[in-house]
A and B are shown apart, each in its own frame.
Chain A
Amino acid sequence: MPAVQETVERVKRIDVDQYRYGFETLIESDKAPKGLSEDTVKFISQKKNEPDWMLQWRLEAYRRWLTMQEPTWARVDYPKIDFQDLYYYSAPKPKKTVTSLDEIDPEILKTYEKLGIPLREVAMLEGVEPKPGEEDPNKRKIAVDAVFDSVSVATTFKAELKKAGVIFMPISEAIREHPELVQKYLGSVVPTSDNFYATLNSAVFSDGSFVYVPPGVRCPMELSTYFRINERNTGQFERTLIIADKGAYVSYLEGCTAPQRDENQLHAAVVELVAHDDAEIKYSTVQNWYPGNSEGKGGIYNFVTKRGDCRGDRSKISWTQVETGSAITWKYPSCILRGDNSSGEFYSIAISNGFQQVDSGTKMIHLGKNTSSRIISKGIAAGKSQNTYRGLVTAHRKATGARNFTACDSLLIGDKCGAHTVPYIEAKNSSATFEHEATTSKISEDVLFYCIQRGLSQEEAVGLVVNGFVKDVLQQLPMEFAVEAQKLISISLEGSVG
């Protein structure tokens, strides 16, 4: 059988039903009634003991949402979502207030264990060389704020962060404890009216993380949150807000996997980042929601709005993402380069297999002088999936000396999948320099055979070649994530070759 044909045959035998991370945790939950109304919004706000200003903010968003239409411009196709057929709030029943990991429901801890996610991580990873200038990996720590379903159930390393003056807590707590900060920044990057999904999120968001790093402080550890969807038919509306004040630095990691499901699950998160003068925020994601079964049924709909505001001069925001899951991904982490000499980066690996549809990319909006941005996107399509990079780079009239470099590479595995690149470039002043490079290639049968002749299985060969293809982006991830991501990439392609 010719080699290409063989790959296609193998792809046909895909079995994404054997989704590695498909399992459910049995745990009681506390649900809002099905459907969406002002009462649902009030229920959520009440559950969270929110002050009135927060409730009013949510209601305003809800009323706005009623007037909006679902966007249709993305290259994704799915049955119409019945927003009245979903639950908008679900919380695991807390037995009592938890102060340490030992008090958390062992079921939950077991779930994390199955995922191989080291909750108690004081990270030491073998076989990885620290990047030049990086500290001893033995001493690096990750603070984990575990979000289980919709409510944060554990917060660790709190004391150490407190000593540094870093505020890291569930946003529901921050609303009560730091209302002045939340009121000042919430919705200041992604306004409640921004887009259909962001507006929906503003009305019904359940929880998420809040981070504030005070002026001149370098956050002493990587911050990480693991999101999980666990309740049938429960939309997930995470809300994250990260502020780095003047000269501050923070690196935030977010990762998730989800249990197997029959019905589609809606996930519409909003993430807002604010970087003041000379501040830097590094935001990394590994996304592995349930992608659907071998017939393309089930799987998560992931409609995410992520935006960073380089508000201050010389500020820097960098997004790194590894997207392997979801039936549908609609996600464009963006940077508004408002401060002079500010810079934005977007490093992305998007893998689609089976019937997955990915429409992802970034927006780099140059407003300040001498702003620069860099986009490195690696798309890998296998099975019958569709993988689109959609990127916008604009320079405002006042953004003199704006610079962008974009490189989009796509790799196809088999011939039933598609990769698309849709760049939008707009320079409103003549001093802007934008460079764009794009390549699309098929995984080479000769390269695969070379690896197989040296003893690798077909699957191992694909995993190795793909990991080589995405290396530039993997290197951008914090070390703890790079290893996890590498494994995930191989796992997510396992189905693509039988």
Chain B
Amino acid sequence: MALLEVKDLKVRVEEREILHGLTLTVNEGEIHAIMGPNGSGKSTLSHVIAGKPGYEVTDGQILFKGEDLLEMSPDERAAKGVFLAFQYPVEIPGVATMNFLRTALNAQRKARGEDEFSTPDFLRKVREVSKSLNIPQDMLKRGVNVGFSGGEKKRNEVLQMALFEPSLCILDEMDSGLDIDALRIAADGVNALRSPKRSMVVITHYQRLLNYIVPDVVHVMSKGRVVKSGGKELALELEASGYAQFEDAA
């Protein structure tokens, strides 16, 4: 069953069209990789799915579990299971990471009509997940992402993903800025979340990440459109020959 359906999506930012009719279907349990040159609109797509203000959808639609996603506020989308791991996670000074995690988790649960997590349950869960991601407890006492290294910020995104248990995870360049070991830890964290009910959209520039997180489908994006889709071997092909052949197609 399709979890996410993006149909002929056209998006403008400040009077300029960035996505020119993009179509993409992600079924439940699938992992899709999106590759494409800088500026092709990958982050724009992820922002529009998550509901970031500032983007004008001029045409097309996005369905999530069959519902019109564009009608929902961004926090509703989060509560319904849309998670975006940001390419550039922001810092929130003065807000302890632990407090942030708990506030966000309980906000989502409340929106779904579920009970808040009890403190011991919450702490146990955080401890378990952060341990598997090699995140020291001290880090969770610090302000959200404040003074975190690039790799720590990305791991913090995976930590949240594991805690919130979303049904759609969009990972925007999760591998950028990670060293080899950190990459493996983060990828293991992501793989641990694979499930027949959960889908992932992995945006990356490098085939290397896809050795760890093996995709079912690879898409090539160019100039605001998906110009080619294929199996995981498509990524290898791209690594060998670059994007030039697709630029012409777009």
Q: Do B103 and A464 touch (CB < 8 A)?
A: yes
- Assess whether B29 is interfacial by the CB under 8 Å rule: no
Cβ A452 vs Cβ B74 within 8 A: yes
Mask of B25-59 contacts with A, CB within 8 angstroms, 1/0:
00000000000000000000000001111100000
Cβ contact within 8 Å between A449 and B94: no
CB distance from B137 to the nearest CB of A (A): 15
B99-113, CB < 8 A from A: 100, 103-105, 107-108, 111
List the A side residues contacting B94 at CB < 8 Å. Answer: 467-472
Who on chain B is nearest to A461 by CB? B75
- State whether A6 touches B103 (Cβ < 8 A): no
Chain B interface size, under 10 / 10 to 19 / 20 to 34 / 35 or more: 20 to 34
Q: Assess whether A460 is in contact with B107, with CB atoms less than 8 Å apart.
A: yes
- Complex Cα gap A1–B105 (Å): 28
B150 at the interface (CB under 8 A from A): no
Expressed in whole angstroms, the minimum distance between the Cβ of A127 and any Cβ of chain B is: 8
Whether B95 and A464, one on each chain, are in contact in the complex, defined by CB atoms closer than 8 angstroms, is yes
Considering only CB atoms, which chain A residue lies closest to B99 in the complex? A464
Are A447 and B90 in touch, CB under 8 angstroms?
yes
In the complex, A1 Cα to B55 Cα: how many Å? 7
B-side contacts of A469, CB under 8 Å:
93-94
Neighbour of B75 across the interface among A445, A456, A464, A472, CB < 8 A? A456
**CB distance B164 to A446 under 8 Å?**
no
The reply to whether the CB of B89 lies closer than 8 angstroms to some CB of chain A is yes
Q: For the complex, is A3 an interface residue (Cβ under 8 Å from B)?
A: yes
A111 to chain B, nearest CB (A): 30
A456 touches B90 (CB 8 A): no
Most buried by B among A6, A447, A455, A467: A455
Give the Cβ gap from B201 to chain A, nearest Cβ, in Å: 15
Question: Contact check: which of B95, B119, B164 meets A465 at CB < 8 Å?
Answer: B95
User: B69 at the A/B interface (Cβ < 8 Å)?
Assistant: no
| Alpha-carbon gap, A444 to B52, bound state (A) | 13
What residues of B have a CB within 8 angstroms of the CB of A470 in the complex? Answer: 94
Q: Assess whether A451 is in contact with B160, with CB atoms less than 8 Å apart.
A: no
- A454 and B160 within 8 A (CB): yes
Are A449 and B95 in contact, CB atoms less than 8 angstroms apart? no
A450 near B103 with CB under 8 A, answer no
Shortest CB-to-CB span from A493 to chain B, Å, is 15
Closest to A378 in B: B94
Also in contact, A453 and B95, with CB within 8 A (given A460-B107, A464-B103, A468-B143): no
* A457 CB-CB contact with B under 8 Å: yes
Decide if A453 touches B90 in the complex (CB within 8 Å): no
Which A residues are CB-close (under 8 A) to B187? none
- CB closest chain-A residue, reference B86: A450
Asked if residues A454 and B78 are in contact (CB atoms below 8 Å), the reply is: yes
Q: A2-B54, A3-B53, A460-B107 are in contact. Are A454 and B93 (CB under 8 A)?
A: no
Q: Does residue B92 face the partner (Cβ distance < 8 Å to A)? A: yes
Within the complex, the shortest CB–CB distance from A459 to chain B, in Å, comes to: 10
Residue of A nearest to B111 (CB): A455
Could you tell me which residues of chain A, from 1 to 26, have a CB within 8 Å of some CB in chain B?
1-3, 6
Is the Cβ of B78 less than 8 Å from the Cβ of A453? yes
Residues of A within 8 A of B22 (CB): none
A66–B73 Cα gap in the complex (Å)?
59
- Name 18 A/B residue pairs within 8 A (Cβ), A-sorted: A2-B14, A2-B53, A6-B53, A449-B53, A450-B89, A450-B90, A451-B92, A452-B73, A452-B78, A453-B83, A454-B100, A455-B75, A455-B105, A456-B104, A460-B103, A467-B94, A468-B143, A470-B94
**6 tightest A-B CB contacts, nearest first:** A468-B94, A471-B94, A455-B108, A3-B53, A468-B95, A454-B104
Additional A-B contacts beyond A445-B53, A456-B103, A467-B94 (18; CB < 8 A):
A3-B52, A450-B90, A451-B104, A453-B50, A453-B51, A455-B75, A455-B78, A455-B104, A456-B104, A457-B107, A464-B95, A464-B100, A465-B92, A467-B95, A468-B92, A468-B93, A469-B94, A472-B94
